Amino acid sequence: MALLARLKQKLFRWESDGSAPFRLSQRRIFIIPTRAGLLYALTLVAMYSGAINYTLALGHALVFLLCGLGLIGINHTFLNLYGLIITPGRSSPVFAGENAYFTMILRNERKTPRLGLRLQVAENAPVETQIAAETKCEIAIPMLAMQRGWLHLPRVRLSTVYPLGLFHAWSYLHPELRCLVYPQPIYMPLPADQSTTNAGERHGDGGQEDFAGFRNRQPADSLHHVAWKASARDAGQRPLLVKQFAGGAEQELQLDWQLTPGNADTETRLSILTGWVLAAEAAGISYGLRLPGYEISAQRGDQHRTRCLEALALSST
C-alpha cells in the first residue's frame, strides 16, 4: 500500500511546484482515451468489418484514414498542454465562508491557440479557459474558504480533450499558492467606548508626538523614523515600517478579547472581534485590537484594518 502511495506520488506529482514559473513537460502529462474515444474505436471496428464484408476498397481507406485521425488526435491533445508555462499569481484575502480566488498565469508561446482547457480543484466545478496564440491569460480558480488562516491551493488538475474529444490529457499543477482567510465576521454591537477621556485635550499636529502604529515607509521618510525592530518581525517579508504618530483621537475604541462573551468558543470570539473591526472601520472610529499576547494600538484606515484582520486570521489563541 505504501509502495502504491509512493508510486502515485512519484507519478502524479503530489510534491509542490514552488512559486516560480514552470513549463509543462511530457513527463507530467498523462493521456487516456475518453468514452467518446472508445465509441469511436468501436465504430471503426464496425466500419472495418463492413468494409471487409462488402469488399469496399475505399471503405478500407476511409477506416484507415479515420484510424490515422484518431492517432494524431493523441498527439494534438497532448500538444494542447505541452509547453504551457504556468506562473503562480497572487490571491487577495477573503473571509471564511467566501470563495478564495487563486490566480495563475498561463502563457502560450505557440503560434496556435490552446482551446478547451479545464482547471479543476478536487471535486469543485471546473473552470474552463483558452489562450490565444502567443499570449498569456490570468485565470482565477475559486475555492471555498472554510477556515480562517492560510488556505493552501491543493494540486490542480489541468485537463483537455481538445481537439477531437477522443483523448483526455491531464497534468497536475501544484504551485505554491496560499490565500489568507480572515475569520467569518459575526456582527454584534460595538463594545462601549472606554477611551474618550483625552478627547479635546490633545492638539497634536499629527506630527511626531503620539505613537499611533506603523505604516509602510515611503521614499520620502527619513531613515531615522524606520522602526527596525517592527520591520524585522516579519523576516523582511514586507517593506520597512515607519512609526506613525497621531494627533488627538476623537474617539478611540479598544477591541479587547476580554470583551467578547467568555462562554463562546475561540473561533466565535475571533469572529465577533472581526465583526467589530469591520464595524468600527466602517463607522470611522479609531480602534485598537487586543488579543491574548498581542496588541495593536488604536488606529484607522485600510492598512490598519488589514493588520487587525491578519492578526485575527493567524491568531493562535
Partner 1 sequence: MSTAAAQTLDHRCAPWLFAAALATTLPHAWHQPTWLSFLSGLIFAYANWLWWRNERLPSRWLLIPLVALACVGVMYEFRTLLGRDAGVAMLVLFMSLKLLELRSQRDATVLITLGYFLLLTHYFYSQSIPTGLWLIAAMTIVTAALIRLHGGTASQPLPTLRYAGLLTMQALPFMLVLYVLFPRISGPLWGLPQDAHRASSGLSEQMSPGSFSDLALSSEIALRVHFDGEIPPRDKLYWRGPVMEVFDGRTWRPHAEQKQPPSIEALSPPIHYESTIEAHQQRWLLALDAPVPGLKDFGINHTLTVTTHQALQQRARFALSAVTNYRFNVQEESGVLQRNLALPKNLNPRTVALAQSWQHVETDASATVNRALALFSGDNFAYTLQPPLLGENSIDEFLFQSRRGFCEHYAAAFVVLMRAAGIPARVVGGYQGGERNPVDGFLVIRQSDAHAWAEVWLAGKGWVRVDPTASVSPNRVEGGIALALPDSEPLPALLTVRADWARAIRHRWEAINNAWNQQVLGYNPARQREFLHQLGLANPNWKNLTVLLATLMGLLILALTAWTFYARRRLDPVQHLWHSALKRIAKSKVNCAPWETPLALQRRIEIERPELTSAFAAVVNAYLEARYSANNTDLITLREAIAKLP
- Provide, rounded to whole angstroms, the least separation between the CB of residue 49 and partner 1: 6
- Provide, rounded to whole angstroms, the least separation between the CB of residue 106 and partner 1: 12
- Provide, rounded to whole angstroms, the least separation between the CB of residue 194 and partner 1: 47
- Provide, rounded to whole angstroms, the least separation between the CB of residue 118 and partner 1: 8
- Provide, rounded to whole angstroms, the least separation between the CB of residue 42 and partner 1: 9
Between 67 and 278, whose beta carbon lies closer to partner 1? 67
- Provide, rounded to whole angstroms, the least separation between the CB of residue 39 and partner 1: 6
Q: Edge-to-edge, what's the strand order for the sheet holding 149-152? A: 94-95, 178-182, 149-152
Between 75 and 258, whose beta carbon lies closer to partner 1? 75
Between 65 and 199, whose beta carbon lies closer to partner 1? 65
CB-CB contact of 178 with 152 (8 Å): yes
Between 53 and 222, whose beta carbon lies closer to partner 1? 53
- Provide, rounded to whole angstroms, the least separation between the CB of residue 58 and partner 1: 5
Between 113 and 204, whose beta carbon lies closer to partner 1? 113
Between 43 and 208, whose beta carbon lies closer to partner 1? 43
In angstroms, the CA 153 to CA 141 distance is: 9
Between 51 and 151, whose beta carbon lies closer to partner 1? 51
Interface positions with partner 1 (CB under 8 A): 34-36, 39-40, 43, 46-47, 49-69, 71-76, 79, 82-83, 109-110, 113, 115-116, 118, 126, 128, 130, 132, 134-136, 161-165, 168
